[in-house]
Chain A
Amino acid sequence: MNTLQIGLLFGLATIAVLFSGMPIAFALGSVATVFMYFFMPHASLDTVAQNVYEEMASITLLTIPLFILKGAAIGKSRAGKDLYSALHIWLSKVPGGLGIAVTIACGLFAAMAGSSAATCSAIGSSAIPEMQQRGYSSRLCAGLVAAGGTLGILLPPSITLILFAVAAEQSLGRLFLAGIGPGILLVVLFASYGIFKYRMEVKQAQASADQGGDRSRILQVDNYTAKEKLAALPKVLPFLTLLLGVMLALYGGFATPSETAGLGAILALILIAVVYGAYKSSDLIPIFTSTLSEATMLMMIIGMSLLYSYVMSYLHISQSAAEWVVALHLSKWTLFLAVALLVIVLGFFLPPVSIILMTAPIILPPLRAQGFDLIWFGVVMSVIMEMGLIHPPVGLNIFVINKIAPEIPLKDVVWGTLPFVFLIMFAVLILCVFPDLVLALPDHYFGTATTKNS
């Protein structure tokens, strides 16, 4: 069999096994092992376990469980609610301030927790009822929270960016910094859309009130005193300090990314103990069990994806596929568009971690050959994958919203998130036209030369 036939068989086997519903980790491991048996020297089968161990025993990869622990500690506390409430009070004078508060709270929470689902759940559980009570439409509430939650895979400490750093052999510190600019861009776009929709809903409510209908709650303006504003701060400041402290430790040269993960996790546990008194076993057990569950599931997928990539590389499938793509002589942006479409389609079915590890060996060489900066591409790929979190059929955040606000019909959640899918596409376009939005910060901090693994 030639490489093309083996490659096609490999692809078909992967699709068949993945769609059987078998856990992704075991599906990828099974395909890799079967192809090792048939197409690689039999001795390679003896090193399956060793291969997986050696691929997983990377201190960069192993920051993931600790960042998840940090996210779980903050996510299971009342930090999200307090953060959102404080922003709401401080932005009450701004038209559509509640929507802006939700978006900013999601961005800040995502930067502390690093998880899209945790962000959606923590902010949404308090923000959605509050917004509904104040007359915001269900679609806008659901859309804002679901879209805000997607920032979890872009803003540091994003697990997606950690994996991209490993797969593309790029500096993690540089990638984390590169994610900040696009993160802020998305927050601005989401908040602007929130204000625009708010104004439309206010107009409709005003027209309805003028025609003698009920006066909607959305027309009322809340006023908070300076005392109330100051009273909202103490519970939020420690977490903002943690967020800034972790960034300072990482970029001030005090700690490596792995040490930052450890410090962040331990400090988050100390903070929730001090601020919320969450130090009893009944508080800590859910934090640790959810960390173990999520981290184990992700690390198994990562370990087996790396075995899968190793087999693909040994059989020259990834190299041949990459050479084939290069030989197509696609223009720079046609290639980018093709890769973006591939990532979007894969995002229908696969989580970002698998997409990165399975496609990186194939898509990165052609992109590098076309002169794309891989730091820029890693961040843009994460932005593209954000779409997968808010559109069917997987749309993890849609289901999180459905779980925390079951009174909002799934149809409304899907329609509510749709404008944000277009906003993310628009953000990708902006990042293509202005790549400095991604690269300016890391280039300013680290210099323009590409560095390997920080």
Chain B
Amino acid sequence: MGRETLQKKTAGGILLKLQNRKLLDKSTTIINYASIFFMTVALVILLAPIVVRGLGAYIFRGTIEHRKVIFEQFQRGRPEILQNELDQVQMARQPVFDMLKSFETELDEMEGRESREMNNQLKELKGLLRELYGVLPGERDPILLRKQYGKTRWKDAREVFHQIMQAEKWDYSDPQHSRLVRFPRRDVFQGTSLEPLFDYLPLKFRETMRPRLVFYLHFLLDESKDAHFFGGIFPEILGTVYLTLFAILFAVPFGVIAAVYLAEFAGDTRFVSLLRSFINTLAGVPSIVFGLFGLAFFINTVKLSETKSVLVGGATLALLVLPTIIRASEEAILAVPREYKEASLSMGASQLRTIVSVILPAALPGILTGIIISMGRAAGETAPIIFTAAVSVGKPLKLLETFSQPTPALPWNIYNLCTEHEAVDSIRHVQFGMVFTLIAVVLTLNITAIFLRARILKKLRG
């Protein structure tokens, strides 16, 4: 009896164990796929809102106010067409202004508490209308650009329109749960000459704004006006281009030469492995420490420039990307087939000649890949340029000025616009546009590098 049971148990035992093992195997495979899936989903979640809303900075429904800004501030557009539209818009808006005026005369005749109350309501309504239309007639011309024009984006204009039609008030009667109460604004102005406004606006609102699809590609080329309320992001883009170029100009010579040394001349001595260790260490230094060092060394000690400047920023970024260039170049040089080198040497060329004329050209695609990836990195880094090169507002620099002056740059201004700016919510589309542009630039650089690398692999295999 005992043996029988033992046998059955063992047989049952092994079989089940195999089942379990197979199950474990399948489930780990599922987990494996799940983690890749999670990464892909994360990437999509990261990029989707940025791409969608970032494109909204370039392609959107713009109102007549937008066309006004483009014409008056940037001198683009045809004056006759614009004037025609402006006349039509004025016709559509005039009833609104007339109603306001007659209400104001009525207000003069009111007195006491009712007058104060109505006055406050009128102020609120006028504020909203100012957001929509810019200056109301009879008012002093504002100097701030953002007050001279109404809403330039149709989506924002529609939101203000809803705010005009539906007033909001907080109901504090229950201190534990305050509620937002919405009521039609016309109730406030019932019986006055402003009441017909709330019939007129829903019908004619579109005519007062005249929205049209806009392909604002000049977002890339226009300067920003009035702290990014209007205009584009050209100074930032130019600043990023300058910084990247300077970084590469500084880092590539040193990096490639170092790679040549490590690949061709260096032995396996302790000093060389120490050197490699240091290069790895440099790669691991946090980016903010580079920024501090750039400030302490380039600006305060060496005095490369008196103040923040693109030169110093580029030098600091060069330190950041140096290890990447050294690594990529060394790999590229090592990947050149030995036959090339041996053939060149056997023909009597000196080592230096071989390197310059044979190996480097052969390794060039690989080196270029490394350079392009470093460009992407340099363009996107913020911490090294906070103290060394970046300002929030500035004009696009001319080349000779970059040696002594700071510049706005995409990464820093993204940070600046979404935290420090005085009207963060009104310029969301600019923030998204900037992030989208930066990501587009960096990804383009990286995809170019990937293609280059694929071509090299094909060449080496084929």
Question: A and B: partners?
Answer: no
